[in-house]
Homo-oligomer: A and B are copies of this chain.
């Protein structure tokens, strides 16, 4: 309850979006070989201008590489982040389903929740998935 919390807000929102993007980029590359801006436009339901903005920031932050009119590629850092995000996402989604939440809602909620799940909580979810609920 003290003061040192809530470091989230701005900086963390940025990270969340970055994670969503690299995850989506990784998905697109896996599915069709490349990721074009339009894939992200469809995925996130924003305009191409917005995608361009965001991707520029990702590039600035060293997560992706793009050249004009070329597909979007992930850097090693981007790939690592995507893998981490995806893993967390999958664990959270599986956990919610196991909890009895419907597939549809589990898919939606896991996207929001995944960004706020610490290592410890993620480990606890994994444990339950593997070994059942703690006595």
A94 within 8 A of B: no
Query: Among B109, B118, B120, which residue has its beta carbon within 8 angstroms of that of A116?
Result: B109
Residues of B within 8 A of A113 (CB): 113, 116-117
Query: What is the total number of copies of this protein in its complex?
Result: 2
**B5 and A9 within 8 A (CB):** no
A4 within 8 A of B: yes
Chain A 97-135 interface 0/1 with B at a Cβ cutoff of 8 Å (1 = within) = 011111001101101110111101100110110001110
Give me the interface of A with B, judged by CB distance under 8 Å.
3-9, 13, 17, 20, 42-46, 96, 98-102, 105-106, 108-109, 111-113, 115-118, 120-121, 124-125, 127-128, 132-134
